[in-house]
Amino acid sequence: MLRTKVSDIQVYLVETRIKGNFADSTRNVETIGYVIVEITTNDGLKGIGTTYHEVGGEAIREMVLKGIGPKILGRNPFETESIYEEIFHYMRGVGRKGLAFCAYSAIDIALWDIKAQMVGLPLYRLLGGSRTELPIYASGGWTSYSKDELVAEALDMVAKGYKQIKLKVGVDGGRNLGEDVARIQAVRNAIGPKIGLMVDANNAFTAATAIQLAERLEELDILFFEEPVFADDIPGLSRFRSMSRTPVGTGEHEYTRFGVRDLLINNAVDYLQCDITRCGGVTEMQKIIAMTQAWNIYFAPHGMEYMHMHVLSPAPNGIFLERLFMFEEVSNIAFIDPPMPKNGILTIPETPGIGLKLNYDRLTT
């Protein structure tokens, strides 16, 4: 085990153009893709890690191949803490957030995939987990949809067995609260009172406006309100949380435990939504989850359910995974027979490691 060394790193890109009119409150989404890092060891083991992009996939690939990858060649995959610390400081001028940290996150996940394979365990068991069946919610409902299209997608989510769903708010760039209320009211009327309903503003509002909207939606039993203000507006998040009865979700745009620390000490979050493919991989996510436990808040990671399922399993405050409908096509391109949710539950494969197989015929370097 100690003789195992990283011998090769490959990077694959898979990208698909979004079919249809996908826009949230602040931008149009035209493409979605994965950057997949595959690490091979001198004894033939292969581990994979993934990050995603809407822009910048090629830049992430180059950062892996030319910036970070050469630093881990010859290293033992079990040295994840040492490697993380070294690369964190190596990237400090360009990589405490953003594309460089996405690149390292995929590398770290791949190393953990190898570690779990080396001991013959699914990753969730190596991390101390026992839950194999995890709640997962459906996520979509773009502001570019008409009200009828929004209701139709919500009903489709429920028909597929999801017990919780999340839809977008922030119509007309956040300048039409009346339409937001009417749309979410129409969805609640259609799906009934027993389906959990969340809303996501994608950074659309000021704190004052978001508080107004939350008050108008309060009778619709909203589970949480995601990113009501700009992600870096921690005072605004704190103000929303202190003045609204609706819990706040945020964190997908934080990249390390230091950003999470600031959310926590400023009382700015109820559902922490960090993304393992951005925040530093399994190594950093374990620290982040521990912090959420210390603050007694929920851990509800952002998208990328196949990367998150293993870290959610051992987390006692890990409430559910998120399945972003817009990722479904690219996941089916990248992986062979990935696990599929059934009745709002995702079951973790018992295969050693992460348990995913790459579809090499459909990947490009």
CA atoms within 13 A on the CB side of 340: 8
Q: How far is 275 from 298, CA to CA, in rounded Å? A: 14
CATH class of segment(s) 6-120: alpha beta
Partners of residue 36 on adjacent β-strands: 12, 50
For residue 94, what pLDDT is reported? 87
For the chain, give every domain's residue range: 6-120, 125-359
CATH 3.40.50.1220 fits 125-359, yes or no: no
Q: How far is CA 10 from CA 110, 208, 313, in A?
A: 11, 47, 29
Q: Going from the first residue of the chain to its last (365 residues), give the mean pLDDT of each consecutive group of 10, the final group possibly shorter.
A: 91 84 80 95 97 92 96 97 96 89 97 98 98 98 96 98 98 96 98 98 97 98 98 97 98 95 98 97 98 98 98 98 94 96 98 97 87
Token pair 């579809």: residue: 359
For residue 325, what pLDDT is reported? 93
* CB of 157 closer than 8 Å to CB of 145: no
- Radius of gyration over every alpha carbon of the chain, rounded to an integer in angstroms: 20
For residue 20, what pLDDT is reported? 67
Tell which residue, 237, 297, 227, has the closest CA to residue 266: 237
**pTM of the predicted structure, to 2 decimals:** 0.96
Q: What is the DSSP letter of 337?
A: S
* Contacts for 284 with CB less than 8 Å, ≥ 6 apart: 84, 105, 108, 256, 257
Q: How far is 86 from 236, CA to CA, in rounded Å? A: 34
For residue 19, what pLDDT is reported? 67
Q: How far is 287 from 273, CA to CA, in rounded Å? A: 14
* CB of 84 closer than 8 Å to CB of 283: yes
